[in-house]
Amino acid sequence: MDVVSQLQRQFVEHATSLYREGYLDDQFTQLLKLQDESNPDFVVEVVSLFFEDTEKLLNNLTTALQQESIDYKQVDAHVHQFKGSSSSIGAQRVKNVCVVFRNYCDEKNLDGCLVCLEQAKNEYLLVRNKLEALFNVSL
């Protein structure tokens, strides 16, 4: 099974580079471990779910930050959830942005929040591309 092992190797290499670059962390490894024969698409499913939720979250955040009078508690709640799900997936860079984002929320720093929102979007797109490439699927 040269092809298989080769593909596996590619996968591993690709994944390793993602780890190295900080896109993914150990939590992602845990997810990989959870996958087994009974549920061979587990990781792909979870990651897809994550992306779906993230899209909604980012939209909500954008809307919330465009309000005239911003409800920072609500924004914080969204970011908090985003942080939770991104860390569960292992999307490290996204999670890091969330941490910073939350601080800005606490300070009610609108500019900081907007910057973080942009960053969050970027990181999300990046990790999404990477993962799609990794799994060779369109997530």
Partner 1 sequence: MNLGGGQVVNKQPMMPSSSGGSWKSSAAAAGGDSGVSDQFPAGLRVLVVDDDSTCLMILEKMLRHCKYEVTKCNRAEVALSYLRENKNGFDVVISDVHMPDMDGFKLLEHIGLEMDLPVIMMSADDSKSVVMKGVTHGACDYLIKPVRIEALRNIWQHVVRKRKHEWKDFDQSASADEQKQPEEPDYSSSANEGHNWKNTKRRKDEDDEADERDESSSLKKPRVVWSVELHQQFVAAVNQLGIDKAVPKKILELMNVPGLTRENVASHLQKYRLYLRRLSGSQHPGGMNTGFMGGPDPGFGSMSSLNGLDLQALAASGQLGQLPPQSLATLQAAALGRSTNLKSTISVPVIDQRNIFSFENPKSRYPEVQSQHLTNNNSSKQINLLPGIPTNMEPKQFVSMHQSGQHSLGNMNNLVLMQMGGQSQSQSQSQAQLNTNVHNGLRQPVMSNEMLTRGGVVDMAPTVYNPVVSVSQASSLVNFSMGHKTDSSRSSYSLRGNLGIPNLPNTSSALQGDRNLDTKVSRKGTVPSYDIFNDLNQNRDWGLPDVGLTFDQNQHTIQTGLDASNPLLLQHNRSSGRDMGGQNRNITSGKVMLSQGFETRTHHNGSNVGQHRTTYVKTENDNDGSCHSTLYSEQYGQDDLLAAVLKHQQHQQQEGVGQPENEFVFDGYALDDLPV
User: Restricting to residues 16-35, which ones interact with partner 1 according to CB under 8 A?
Assistant: 27, 30-31, 33-34
**Residue 67 DSSP label:** S
Using an 8 Å Cβ cutoff, are 6 and 64 in contact?
A: no
Please say which residue, 72 or 130, places its beta carbon nearer to partner 1: 72
User: Restricting to residues 43-62, which ones interact with partner 1 according to CB under 8 A?
Assistant: 45-46, 49-50, 53
H helix intervals, 21-71: 26-34, 42-66
How wide is the angle at C-alpha 136 spanned by C-alphas 90 and 84, nearest 5°? 20
| 30 Cβ contact list (under 8 Å, min separation 6) | 90
Nearest approach in angstroms of CB 53 to partner 1 is: 6
Under rule CB under 8 A, residue 39 binds partner 1: yes
Residues that bind partner 1 (CB under 8 A): 27, 30-31, 33-34, 39, 42, 45-46, 49-50, 53, 77, 80-81, 83-85, 87-90, 106
